[in-house]
Amino acid sequence: MTQRRSYQVGTGLFILLGFAALAYLATQTTSVANFRQGESYTLKASFTNVGQLKLRAPVKIAGVRIGSVEAIDLDPAKLEASVRLAIDKKFDQLPDDSSAAIFTSGLLGDQYVGVQPGGSPDMFKDGDEFVLTQSSLQLEDLIGKFLVNGSPSPKPAESGDGSAKPPAPDQHQ
């Protein structure tokens, strides 16, 4: 009887450790692990389409995380998505002509905001807005464009007997 009880305890501990490992893995692979609350300043960007961009998604320059997405709202006047970015204070030397774009990690991964630094001597200040933005690239749109461009050209209209009608001649007088 005690041997059976020790198997039950061992099995229970094994399952508990498995759940703990899954919880750790889930927090490390999502933006929960990368969420930091520290000194930051806010920048704004407007996009026509944010795709699947989520709150706390990373903001990166050259693949290095410099901040996170703080809010995503719809601007009712322009009917565009207004994204508020929280940038770490230590990255306060961003030129004000920098651009922001929404990218996808891998083929089907999470989306993030990528910043391409500009060359202006003036730097962004708290509350400034990106002028140059590039919206999310939608996989469905790319597939649709490929299917439309990849299809053969339309054939001339056929009459009821199966023969093609020649185009009507121009009647100029």
Tokens of 122: 């003036």
One domain, residues 51 and 72: yes
- AA identity, residue 127: G
Q: Domain for residue 169, yes or no?
A: no
Q: Domain for residue 140, yes or no?
A: yes
Count of domains for the chain: 2
One domain, residues 64 and 14: no
Task: Pick the closest to residue 79 from 112, 111, 46 (CA basis).
Answer: 46
Q: How far is CA 43 from CA 6, 83, 119, 130, in A?
A: 58, 8, 18, 7
Q: Domain for residue 159, yes or no?
A: no
One domain, residues 54 and 14: no
One domain, residues 59 and 130: yes
Q: How far is CA 116 from CA 35, 59, 65, in A?
A: 22, 11, 13
One domain, residues 22 and 101: no
Q: Domain for residue 12, yes or no?
A: yes
One domain, residues 117 and 57: yes
Q: Domain for residue 65, yes or no?
A: yes
One domain, residues 65 and 127: yes
Output the pLDDT for position 153: 52
pLDDT, mean of each 10-residue run, the chain (173 residues): 81 92 76 64 94 92 94 93 95 94 84 94 94 84 79 52 53 52
Output the pLDDT for position 31: 53
Q: Domain for residue 17, yes or no?
A: yes
One domain, residues 124 and 55: yes
One domain, residues 3 and 51: no
Output the pLDDT for position 38: 74
The kind and range of the H/E element at 4 are helix 2-29
To the question of pTM greater than 0.85 for the whole model, the response is no
Q: Domain for residue 131, yes or no?
A: yes
Output the pLDDT for position 5: 84
One domain, residues 70 and 100: yes
Question: What are the residues whose beta carbons fall under 8 Å from the beta carbon of 133, sequence distance 6 or more?
Answer: 45, 46, 47, 99, 100, 101
One domain, residues 43 and 106: yes
| C-alpha torsion angle, residues 143, 145, 149, 152 (rounded to 10) | 60
Q: Domain for residue 76, yes or no?
A: yes
Backbone dihedral region for residue 82 (phi beyond 0: left; psi -120 to 50: alpha; all else: beta): beta
Cα radius of gyration rounded to whole Å, the chain: 27
One domain, residues 8 and 46: no
Q: Which domain holds residue 58?
A: 38-148
